[in-house]
Each structure stands twice: as structure tokens, then as C-alpha cells.
Chains A and B, each alone.
Chain A
Amino acid sequence: NAGVTQTPKFQVLKTGQSMTLQCAQDMNHNSMYWYRQDPGMGLRLIYYSASEGTTDKGEVPNGYNVSRLNKREFSLRLESAAPSQTSVYFCASRPLHTEAFFGQGTRLTVV
């Protein structure tokens, strides 16, 4: 049972480059989330998907887009990376009003 799997684990981008962070869960959860974590800031919600076919903005959505490809997969895209997007990104999934399961994170550096 893999839980929540994120790829890649590490990435370095140049300013202006684009990339997609992948996330997949095998627990049949309806809800999936993307958070970013910066020192002293805690986890901040970027986008979430309450169910397959729906996505909603979180606290810090600017500069990002998401796709809920199917029930298992929820991807996060940076169209034109900026140094301010240097962060650790976590994907999570859960049924409503229960515990969240997190991936191992993607450490992204934009130079």
C-alpha cells in the first residue's frame, strides 16, 4: 500500500521554466490537496479538489494551476517559475473530516 506518492522528490528550475508536480493516491479518497511549506510559515494551501472533476483555489494559488486527472491523480503545474516559488511542496489526500495522508514532498528550488 503506497499511500500518497509524489514525483519528483527534488527539482531545480531556472526562472521562467515550467514544470508539473505529480501526485497519486491509492486509498480511494475523494479529496486531494496541494500545500507549500516555507520556513516559519507552516503549510499553506495552494489548491484543492474536493472530488473528481472539481478544483478550488486555496490561500496562495497565484502562479499555479492544477488538474484532477482522475480520482487517483492530482497534478500541480508551475507555468513560469519564479524564485518566490522555491519551497517544499506536499500533496495530501483524505476522506472528508478525517485525517490527511501526506506524500514525502517535493523540494523545489528556482534560481
Chain B
Amino acid sequence: SQKIEQNSEALNIQEGKTATLTCNYTNYSPAYLQWYRQDPGRGPVFLLLIRENEKEKRKERLKVTFDTTLKQSLFHITASQPADSATYLCALDPRTGRRALTFGSGTRLQVQP
């Protein structure tokens, strides 16, 4: 069956360090992979999209990698700040079939000052 795995344990890091979050998937062939941020009591907010033929995408302090052979995406936040504390969700966008995003369960990031 199709599965998307994100580390369910919270990630705690010190301010200024790089946070790295992992998204692994099985039995999917996504055309695109997206990352979202979700704050408590709010809806998810889009951060980055990467296509299957792209290896890496950057936006300011954010970087996403996409390895379709390993079936894995890594999401990096450099020079992390307490304001980056939130839950981060990865989402797969299929090439065919159901035209809807499928989400992982998310990883909570806590940046300590």
C-alpha cells in the first residue's frame, strides 16, 4: 500500500543550527513533492515545491532535495530561529490517478533560543 513517512518524534535544535527533516515514501510515483508549514490551530501554508526531475530547490533559508531512487525528500532550514518552530508536512502530488495531494503526518520542529 502507499505510504508516506515523516519522523513522528519532535525535532529539537538550537537556534542558529540547521534543521533537517525527512520524508520517505513507498509505492508512489509522484510528479511533484511539496512541503508545508502548519502552526497550532491554523491551516497548512505552502513553502516549496520540487518536481521529479529536479534534485534540489532553494528559497531563502529553505532547501529541499528530492531523490526518486531513494524515494526520499529532505527539507533543510539553515540558521534556524525560534520563529521556525512549527509542524512541517510533506505532500506528494501524483502523476496519474487521483489528482489530490497526499500528506505525511508531519514532524514538529522546536527551535530553542
Interface residue ranges, A against B (CB under 8 Å): 4, 31, 33, 35, 40-45, 48, 50, 56, 58-59, 90, 92, 96-105
Contacts and interface: CB of A to CB of B under 8 A. Distances in A.
Nearest to A98: B49
Nearest to B49: A99
Interface in B95-113: 98-106
Interface string B72-113: 000000000000000001010100001111111110000000
A45 B43 contact: no
B98 A100 contact: no
Interface of B: 4, 8, 31-32, 34, 36, 41-46, 49, 89, 91, 93, 98-106
B22 to A, nearest CB: 15
Contact of B45 (A45, A102, A105): A102
Contacts of A4: 43
A50 B94 CA distance: 14
B49 A31 contact: no
Given A40-B8, A42-B89, A90-B43, A96 B99 contact: yes
Contacts of A56: 98
Contacts of B99: 31, 48, 50, 96
Given A42-B106, A90-B43, 16 more contacts: A4-B43, A42-B103, A45-B98, A48-B100, A58-B98, A58-B100, A59-B102, A90-B44, A92-B43, A97-B32, A98-B49, A99-B34, A99-B46, A100-B34, A102-B45, A103-B43
Contacts of B41: 105
A48 B41 CA distance: 23
Contacts of B49: 98-99
Closest 4 CB pairs of A and B: A102-B43, A42-B105, A99-B46, A43-B103
